[in-house]
Amino acid sequence: MSNAEIQKKIDEIEAEYAKTQKNKATSYHLGTLKAKLAKLRSELVNGPGGKSAGTKNAERGFDVSKSGDTRVGLVGFPSVGKSTLLTTLTGTKSEAAAYEFTTLTCIPGTMKYKGARIQVLDLPGIIEGAADGKGRGRQVISTARTCNMILIVLDSSKPVTHKKIIEAELFSFGIRINQSPPNVKVTKREAGGIEYQEMTSQTKGMNSEVARLILKEYKIPCASVILREDISVDQFIDVIEGNRAYIPVLYVFNKIDCLTIEELDILDQMPNYVPISSQHGWNIEELLEEIWSKCNMLRIYTKPKGQMPDYDEPVIMHVANDPTVEAFCNRLHKNLIDDFSHAMVWGRSAKHQPQRCGKDHILMDEDIVQIVKKVG
Per-residue model confidence (pLDDT) at position 255:
83
- In the predicted structure, residue 60 carries a pLDDT above the cut 70: no
Per-residue model confidence (pLDDT) at position 54:
40
| 154-158: average pLDDT | 82
Distance CA 88, CA 70 (A): 18
- In the predicted structure, residue 358 carries a pLDDT above the cut 80: yes
Percentage of residues in the chain having pLDDT higher than 90:
34
| 312-328: average pLDDT | 90
Percentage of residues in the chain having pLDDT higher than 70:
88
Per-range mean pLDDT, top range of 6-15, 31-40, 226-235: 226-235
Per-residue model confidence (pLDDT) at position 63:
63
| 160 — pLDDT class (breaks 50, 70, 90) | confident
pTM exceeds 0.85, yes or no: no
Buried b (16+ CB within 10 A) or exposed e, 357-372: beeebebebbbbbbbe
Per-residue model confidence (pLDDT) at position 53:
37
Q: E-assigned strands of the chain?
A: 70-76, 107-113, 116-122, 149-155, 175-177, 184-188, 194-198, 223-227, 245-247, 249-254, 273-275, 297-302, 315-318, 340-346, 355-357, 367-373
State the maximum Cα–Cα separation within the chain, in Å, rounded to a whole number: 75
Per-residue model confidence (pLDDT) at position 16:
86
Per-residue model confidence (pLDDT) at position 222:
92
| 315-335: average pLDDT | 90
- In the predicted structure, residue 107 carries a pLDDT above the cut 60: yes
- In the predicted structure, residue 103 carries a pLDDT above the cut 60: no
- In the predicted structure, residue 125 carries a pLDDT above the cut 70: yes
| 143 — pLDDT class (breaks 50, 70, 90) | confident
| Residues 6 or more apart whose Cβ sits within 8 Å of residue 191 | 222
| 203-230: average pLDDT | 90
- In the predicted structure, residue 58 carries a pLDDT above the cut 80: no
Per-residue model confidence (pLDDT) at position 62:
63
